[in-house]
Amino acid sequence: MTSKTLARAGLAAAGLLALSAGAAQAGQMARLAQIPKLLTTERCYGVALAGHNDCKAAAGATCAGTSKVDYDGKSYKRVPKGTCVTTKTPHGMGSLSPKA
C-alpha cells in the first residue's frame, strides 16, 4: 500500500467514526426532546384509534401506529395528565392501566 492509500483509508475511517458519533448524539437529542411530553402526559389505554396508538399493543401489533382495532384496551395513546379517565369512547372510559 502506498502512503496515499493509507492516508485515504485513515480519512475514511475517521469520517465513519464522526458520522456514527453524530448519529448517536442525534438519537440522544431526540430522546431528550421527548422528556417534556412525558412529564405533561399520561398513558391512556383504550382510547387510540387503529393505527394511532403510541405504543403497547394487542396481538398482531408491535408498537406505535400498529394497532389494528379502534379503542383497543391493550394499546395506549398519550393524553394530557388528568384527562384519561374522563375520556369517553364507544367502549367506555379511558384507563390508566391496560384493559382486558
pLDDT for 62 equals 66
DSSP for 47-75 reads -PPTT---B---TT--STT---STT-TT-
Q: Has this prediction a pTM greater than 0.75?
A: no
Contacts 24+ apart (CB under 8 A), 11-20: none
CB 88 within 8 A of CB 47: no
pLDDT for 15 equals 60
* Ranges of residues in the chain whose predicted pLDDT is under 70: 1, 4, 6-24, 26-27, 29, 31-32, 34, 56-62
Cα atoms in the 13 Å half-sphere on the side-chain side of 53: 25
